[in-house]
Structure 1
Amino acid sequence: MKIAIGSDHVGLELKLTIAEFLKELGYEVDDFGPFSAERTDYPKYGKLVAQSVSSGSNDLGILICGTGVGISIAANKVKGIRAVVCSEPYSAKLSREHNNTNILAFGSRVIGSELAKMIVKEWLSASFEGGRHERRVNEIKAIEEQNLEVFEKLAK
């Protein structure tokens, strides 16, 4: 499995730690930057990672900024992306099982490296359950595609 990773300058150190952790777990890592601590804007990296996941170049993505919020908002603007911000493992697990998230985000100013590793491991070990959750993910897709007719049928 190939995982895209990116951050802003605030998340750089944690990004490097998580990239190394992913490699230790046996994942291929595609690092989209940044590659220095020079100030940069998170939307650029949110977009790059999200586009790589949306296009299928990478299976999943991980994004890091100060809180995880801004970079996940940027990623969620890319069609086909369901990015989630998590600060603990349980939400990360359920986001995969129930929402089929394909990008995980967290904040380097919110969590430390050991908790980040626990969150990543839990997120990666979970898989989409389908079933009743499939309809809800399809509703999200219909909203994204602005297909209100399909949304209304699904949302009954």
Structure 2
Amino acid sequence: MSKVVIGADNLGLPLKDVLVEHLKSKGHDVTDIGTNTSDPVDYPGVGRRLAEKIAAGEYERGILVCGTGAGMAIVANKVPGVRAVCVTDPYTAERAIASNNAQVITMGAQITGPSVAKMLADIYLANEFQAERSGKKVAQIDALDAETRKAG
């Protein structure tokens, strides 16, 4: 089973809690980095904290939840070395890891219900990167990431 880190802002809190319980019941080692309050929490802080844990190699996979999933994906993708994909359907959840080697998926609690979110997380965590097919493309993404880090 996977070692997964998960986080959310206050809008994503209820769905995050559902996912934490579901993933633990499936045998995954889940670390919840919050939020654990319904008080307003700005998503950039949570997204950055999770993405930095991924970039540091503390976790191989992460899940972020906010209202739409879009904001968290933008934040996570700003952290060097992290690839995040907002998932809303089974095919994207599979291809996020299989084609793009995304270490993070994001979801929107205001657009994705609990049953679908659990299914998407299961699909993402059950699949692996298909390096023989997509390795060259991901290497190009990594090179761009390194290039922009140098320039910055």
TM (norm. structure 2) is: 0.94
Note the alpha carbon deviations across 1:77-127, whole angstroms, 9 max, x for none.
Answer: 111111000111111101111111100101001110000001000111111
One-letter identity of the residue aligned with 2:106:
A
Instruction: Name the structure 2 match of 1:97.
Output: 98
Matched, 1:106 2:107: yes
Rounded Cα–Cα distance in structure 1 between residues aligned with 2:133 and 2:109: 34
Rounded Cα–Cα distance in structure 2 between residues aligned with 1:100 and 1:57: 16
Rounded Cα–Cα distance in structure 2 between residues aligned with 1:10 and 1:145: 33
Instruction: Name the structure 1 match of 2:142.
Output: 141
Instruction: Name the structure 2 match of 1:52.
Output: 53
Deviation beyond 3 Å, 4+ runs, structure 1? none
Instruction: Name the structure 2 match of 1:73.
Output: 74
Superposition deviation, residue 129 in structure 1: 0.7
Superposition deviation, residue 132 in structure 1: 3.4
Provide the secondary structure at the position in 2 that maps to 1:105. Answer: strand
Between the aligned residues of both structures, percent identity stands at 37
**Please, which moves more after superposition, 6-15 or 51-60?**
51-60
What is the number of equivalent residue pairs in this alignment?
A: 147
Instruction: Name the structure 1 match of 2:35.
Output: 34
Superposition deviation, residue 131 in structure 1: 1.6
Aligned Cα root-mean-square deviation (Å): 1.0
Matched, 1:132 2:143: no
Give 1 or 2 for the bigger CA radius of gyration. 1
- Where do 5+ consecutive residues of structure 2 fail to align? none
Rounded Cα–Cα distance in structure 2 between residues aligned with 1:20 and 1:56: 24
Provide the secondary structure at the position in 1 that maps to 2:147. Answer: coil
One-letter identity of the residue aligned with 1:14:
L
Provide the secondary structure at the position in 2 that maps to 1:34. Answer: coil
- Where do 5+ consecutive residues of structure 1 fail to align? 148-156
Higher RCO structure (Cα 8 Å, ≥6 apart): 2
